[in-house]
Structure 1
Amino acid sequence: MAESLATGAPASARTSSALPHAYTAALALLSLAAIAAGSFWPLIVLGWLFLGHVALEVVLGNRFPARDPAPVAEHWTFTAVLLAVLPLQVAILGFGLWRLTLSAAPATVLEWIGIVALMGSTAGSFGITAAHELVHRREGWQRAVGIALLLIAHIPHFRIEHVHNHHPNVGTPKDPATAREGESVYAFFPRSIVGQYRSAWRIEADRMRRRGRNAYGAGNRMLHYLALQAVLDIGVLLVFGWAGLAVLLAQALIAVWLLETVNYVEHYGLRRKPLDPEGRRYEKLSAAHSWNAGQSATNVVLFNLGLHSAHHMEAARPYPALYNSADLPQLPTGYSGSVMLAMNPPLWFRIMAPRLAAARLDG
């Protein structure tokens, strides 16, 4: 199996404009309109986010942009699209909280379900995906925007664990975000959440000790994140009451569920071989240790997250310059379809078993 990802369509086939990715802004505005309209409209938009995008994945098909050995500097518009996600997510969060707790027109049960589910789904799809791209950036202020987005989902520790543990240790038992073969998403969910949280604390404590400082002293970023999270939660409690806090936590749970389901499908069953009996060293990470989804509909909304092997091989490469190859492990559908397949473990196992066997044979 190729590791360079050098094959595929010409590099010119890659999107040269950030405009398609601005579709996320249209989805955010559509979500705000649905919250305002109430009734069944939030559920309609929710259906579009999932079922509608599965249909788009089929219609728009798969793309295999080739690797540019030395990509040109990312145009500022690609970063602007990412940054725009924060005010849009804040608007969805704030408007949703107001509509459910402070509006003069009491929300129905249907509206409560639809609005909370829509808030969590937007936070967990393009909200966390934009954050994921931003926390990999070299510019500190861009990473700060990413952390702000992660606070909405109550997972600011993702910035530490993802960069400093998931990337170097993906495909090994050291990475809680790598799903095991035969493990259902429902078993993976608590294992990954607890494992990543503990890992982030360990990474940060070790960083402080290396600097000769108290492991849990004032410089510990996990303590900073806890303080920021408390500010958000207490602020919501004071403005929107206990019902508002419950909404905030419920939408965060939905967002994290989506994140972990994506984590699940991205590396399901793809393990790196140990190089010693004790499991201290593992084979070098290759492009064959990630599942890819080249569907245009997936990657427009999720900032090319589906081109996942490229991201792991070159984490600093900006999302418009990611690439793919037909000879790499490919998911059966884009992320929208794969997330729903994963929620049916028997069907997921049946579909993925031959693909996983082929990936291991080629690897």
Structure 2
Amino acid sequence: MRYQLAYTVGIWTAALIVAAFYAGGAVMAALAIGIYFVLPFAEKWMGESRWPSQKRIDAILPAAVRRYDLIVLATAAAFLALLGWALWVVSVTPLAWWEFLVFALILGEYGGFVGIVTAHELMHRNKAGKRQLAFLLMSLVGYAHFCIEHVRGHHMRVATPDDPATAPKGMTLYRFLPRTIIGSFRSAWGLEAERLERNGLGTWSWRNNILRWWAFTLALMAAISFLLGPASLLLFAVQSAVAIFALETINYTEHYGMLRERRADGSYARVRPEHSWNSSHILSNINMFNLGRHSDHHYQSNRPYYKLRHYDDVPQFPYGLAGMIMLATVPPLWFRVMDGELERYENRRAGADA
């Protein structure tokens, strides 16, 4: 999408959630239904965009770059503000159990599709301050170790059996979730231990980023419980679980069935665009900083979201990310659609190589 203001949709969505809360439970329920059942059709209806071309990328001016970066920072601030407000408001507002549940689900979806996605963009930036902000955002859903595993583990091992975030063909989402959650933490711990050892420090050093940020999350939870009460603590826990589910479901969809070629020496071929699923659906990409352009992201992980390119000759999602996530929750439908897509892509590739 070429229009910068389009990427502010995450900020306006935060305002919409606040308005829906004060409008009452029925409006919140309608918003939840929209997220789960209307958005997948809306992104299909809005279609795709193959912008930008390399010519357009080369023409982006420094002033535009600053505006693109400011949008990311403003979206991070929106997530922080929304979560802080939500934790407070449930402590002072009586809610029916179903209203609380709907609100927690909406907040968790925002954390997964906006908060975590914003953190994902920041953790790939070169500046230490932005990477620390990514850790902060991830700590607010209890998943700070993802910053380590994603950048230093997943990007190195993607599309191989060694990557816990790459689901092999035939694996359901529900088998994948414990595999990736446990495996990603183990990988992050090992990577952090190696980093500390190279610097002459022990694994249990306070310089261990996993320990520091998990300590922050636990301290935050204790503060929430003490200052705001059990309802706010429960909201924090539920929104964290929903956000993590959303994140790992995205991982499941974007790498399902992908496998890099293995060389004679046992190493794997270099990561290329064809080793991830691509989506150029407009609505998903403006909401998630072009996360659907995952093929280019893995090919060159240092490219900022506004420079990620579309490729025609890579595996393509038939629907946008919202639609693919809903599809993944129903394994028979997922396999029927995606195994067919995977087979057709492999046949096209075999024909091109012949």
TM normalised by structure 2 equals 0.93
Alignment partner of 2:260: what SS? coil
- Counterpart for residue 186 of structure 2: 198
Query: Which letter does structure 2 place at the counterpart of 1:85?
Result: T
Return the offset for 1:342: 0.4
Judge conservation of contact 1:65–1:325 (CA < 8 Å) in 2: no
Q: Whole-Å Cα distance in 2 between the matches of residues 288 and 303 of structure 1?
A: 20
| 1:84 corresponds to 2:74 | yes
Cα distance in 1, alignment partners of residues 24 and 243 from structure 2:
21
Alpha-carbon separation, structure 1, partners of 2:29 and 2:140: 21
Match of 2:248 in 1: 260
Give the distance between the partners of 1:291 and 1:81, measured in 2 at CA.
Answer: 26
Conserved 8 A contact 1:43-1:118: no
- 2-structure distance, mates of 1:256, 1:174: 21
Match of 1:210 among 198, 223, 238: 198
Aligned 8 A contact 2:52 2:307 in 1:
no
- Residue 212 of structure 1 aligns with an amino acid whose one-letter code is G
Cα distance between partner residues in 1 of 2:52 and 2:231: 49
Name the CA distance, whole Å, in 1 between partners of 2:255 and 2:143.
Answer: 20
Letter in 2 for 1:25: I
In structure 2, how many angstroms separate the alpha carbons of the residues matched to 1:293 and 1:126?
17
- Counterpart among 191, 207, 224 of residue 236 in structure 1: 224
2:134 paired with 1:146: yes
Aligned residue among 83, 86, 93 for 1:93 = 83
CA distance in 2, matches of 1:87, 1:235: 20
How far 1:254 moved relative to its partner? 0.3
Give ranges in structure 1 of 5+ residues lacking alignment: 1-13
Q: Which of the pair is proportionally richer in helix? A: 2
- Give the deviation of 1:276 after TM superposition: 4.4
Question: In 2, distance between residues paired with 1:25 and 1:115?
Answer: 17
Question: Does 2:266 align with 1:285?
Answer: no
Which amino acid is the alignment partner of residue 278 of structure 2?
N
Mapping for residues 176-195 of structure 1, pairs under 5 Å? 176-195=164-183
Provide the residue aligned with 2:106 in structure 1.
Answer: 118
Contact residue 35 and residue 96 of structure 1 kept, 8 A:
no
Q: 3-state DSSP class of the match of 1:75? A: helix
The amino acid across from 1:229 in the alignment is: T
Q: Any conservation in 2 of the 1:294–1:306 contact (CA below 8 Å)?
A: yes
Report if the CA contact (8 A) 1:66-1:325 is conserved. no
Quick check: 1:158–1:196 contact (8 Å CA) kept in 2?
yes
- CA deviations on 1:331-356 (whole Å, 9 max, x unpaired) are 11000000000000000001011211
CA contact (8 A) 1:188 1:264 kept: yes
- Distance between the aligned counterparts of 1:52 and 1:336, measured in 2? 10
Moved more, 47-56 or 322-331: 47-56
Amino acid at match of 1:235: A
Partner residue, 1:129: 117
Q: Distance in 1 between the 2:53 and 2:194 partners?
A: 36
Alignment of 1:1-363 (within 5 A): 14-15=1-2, 17-65=3-51, 67-68=53-54, 71=58, 72=60, 73=62, 75-103=65-93, 106-276=94-264, 280-361=266-347, 362=349
- Structure 2 vs 1, CA of residues 211 and 67 (structure 1 numbering), >3 Å: closer, same or farther? farther
CA contact (8 A) 1:99 1:107 kept: no
Shift of 1:224: 1.2
Contact kept, 8 Å, 1:82 with 1:130, in 2: the verdict is: yes
Deviates more, 1:259-268 or 1:148-157: 148-157
- Kindly indicate whether the alpha-carbon contact (under 8 Å) linking 2:142 and 2:217 is maintained by their aligned counterparts in 1: yes
Q: What displacement does 1:126 show?
A: 1.0
Deviations 1:26-46 (A, max 9, x none): 111001111222322222222
Q: Is the 8 A contact 2:119 2:138 kept in 1?
A: yes
- What is the Cα deviation at residue 256 of structure 1? 0.4
Q: Which stretch has the larger CA shift, 74-83 or 341-350?
A: 74-83
Between 209-218 and 308-317, report the one with greater CA deviation.
Answer: 209-218
Deviation at 1:273, TM superposition (A): 2.3
Residue type of the alignment partner of 1:162:
H
Instruction: Name the SS for the 2:99 alignment partner.
Output: helix
CA distance in structure 2 between the partners assigned to 1:144 and 1:136 by the alignment: 11
Q: Is the 8 Å Cα contact of residues 79 and 114 (structure 2) preserved in structure 1?
A: no
Kindly state the Cα deviation for residue 358 of structure 1 after the two structures are TM-superposed. Answer: 2.5
**Alignment check: 8 A CA contact 1:85 1:130 kept:** yes
Moved over 6 A (4+): none
How many residue pairs are counted as aligned between the two chains? 345
Mapped to 1, the partners of 2:218 and 2:101 lie a distance apart of 25
Shift of 1:52: 2.8
Whether the 8 Å CA contact 2:8–2:75 is kept in 1: the answer is: no
Mean Cα deviation higher: 17-26 or 160-169:
17-26
Give SS of 2:229's match. Answer: helix
The root-mean-square deviation of aligned C-alpha atoms, in Å, is: 1.7
Structure 2: any 5+ residue segments left out of the alignment? none
Aligned partner of residue 263 in structure 2, secondary structure? coil
8 Å CA contact retained: 1:18, 1:78: yes
Q: Which amino acid aligns with 1:92?
A: L
AA matched with 1:326 = D
